[in-house]
Amino acid sequence: MRTQLFIVLIAFMLIGNCCKAQYLEPKKDSNGKYGFIDENGNEVIPFKYDYASGFYEGLSAVHLNGKCGYIDKTGKEVIPLSHDYDLAGSFYEGLAYVKLNDKWGYIDKTGKKIIPLKYDEAGIFVHGSARVALNSKCGYIDKTGKVIIPLKYDDAGDFFFSGGLARVKLNNKWGYVNETGAEVIPLKYDEADYFGELARVKLNNKWGYVDETGVEVVPLKYDDAGDFFYEGLARVKLNDKWGYTDKTGAEVIPLKYDKAGNFTEEELARVKLNYKWGYIDKTGVEVIPLKYDDAGDFDEGLAEVLLYGESFYIDKTGKCVKDCP
C-alpha cells in the first residue's frame, strides 16, 4: 500500500510538471470508450480508445482492439497501436515498462525494446534505476538493463530516493542498500519505510526513525508513528496517546491526544481529545479550540469541520468563512 502511495505521489508531481502548458484528462464515456478533455471539459482527443492513461513525459499509453501504443497531446500516434503487449505503462525518465506473456521489459519513446521482456515484475525508473523481479527475487537495474543491485532479495522498494537508499527485505527482515548495492543499514527491522530525511522503522512492535547512516535518531519506543515528518514534526503514539516529535527525537508536543493528524503547510495539525477536534500549532498551542465533532486538514487556508450536524469551512483563526450555518 505504501509503495502504491509513493508511485501515486510521484505520478502527481510529474503530471503537474508536464501539464502546465496544456491540461488534458482521460475520461470514459457512456459507451466505455476513452478520450481526453481539457480543463474546461471540452473534448480534445476523441473517445475511441478501450483504455487511456494520463500523460507522462508528453505521452499517453492507449489500447484499442487488443493493441497498445502511445499518443501525444495532439492525438498523434507517436508509437503506433500495432503492439500486442498485454500492458503498457507510462514513461518515466524516457522508458516505459511493457508486459507480454507474463514477462516485463522496457521500451523507449520510439517504441524500441531497450530492455528485454524477461522479468516477472518491473517498476518505474526513478533516479536512473528500477526495481525488477525474477524467480521470486528482487533487485535493481539501470536504464541500459545492467543489474546494479543483485536480484537476491525477497522484496524491495520500488525506487531509490534522492538520498540514494532503497529498502530491501531478506529472510523477513528489512534494511537499506545504496546505489552500489552495499547494505548500509543492516537488514534487521520488521518493517521499514521509504526515506524522506529520516525513515520510519519497526522492531519488536515498536516504531522509531533512522537517518541515512542507520542511527536511530528517534528511539524505537512508540506503538505507532506517522509515515513521514511534516513541517519538521512527526506524530507518534504511546499508551494510546498521540503527540509529536522533532527530528532529534525530542517530544516537542506532549503525547496527550486521542488522535492526531499531520501538520500542513499552514503549520496547523488537527487533534482530538475527549471526542472533540480542534487545531494546534507547532508549539502545541491550541489555536482553534477543540470543540468540533469532526475536522479535516487545512488546505489552501481552509479546513472543513462538523459541529452539531452542520458541515462548514473555517480559516486559520477559526472563523467560519464558507457554508456557515
- So where are the chain's domains? 1-121, 264-325
- When pLDDT is averaged across residues 267-280 and rounded to a whole number, the result is 98
Q: Which residues of 225-240 are buried (b: 16+ CB within 10 A; e: fewer)?
A: bbbbbbeebbbbbbee
Q: What's the rounded Cα separation, in Å, for the pair 124 and 119? A: 13
> Phi then psi for 18, rounded to 5 degrees?
-85, -15
Judged by average pLDDT, the poorest of 5-19, 72-86, 221-235, 253-267 is: 5-19
- When pLDDT is averaged across residues 235-250 and rounded to a whole number, the result is 98
Q: Which of 36, 43, 110, 39 is nearest to 73 (CA)?
A: 36
pLDDT at 158 (0 to 100) = 77
Q: Which of 222, 293, 287, 280 is nearest to 253 (CA)?
A: 280
Edge-to-edge strands of the sheet including 43-49?
Answer: 25-28, 34-37, 43-49
- When pLDDT is averaged across residues 214-235 and rounded to a whole number, the result is 96
Write the DSSP symbol of residue 245: E
* Residue 6 predicted with pLDDT over 60: no
Q: Which of 124, 61, 134 is nearest to 102 (CA)?
A: 134
pTM (whole model) above 0.75:
yes
CA 308 vs CA 84, 154, 292, 311, 312: distances in Å: 57, 51, 8, 9, 11
pLDDT at 21 (0 to 100) = 56
Residue written as cell 547512516? 213
Q: Are 125 and 7 in contact (CB under 8 A)?
A: no
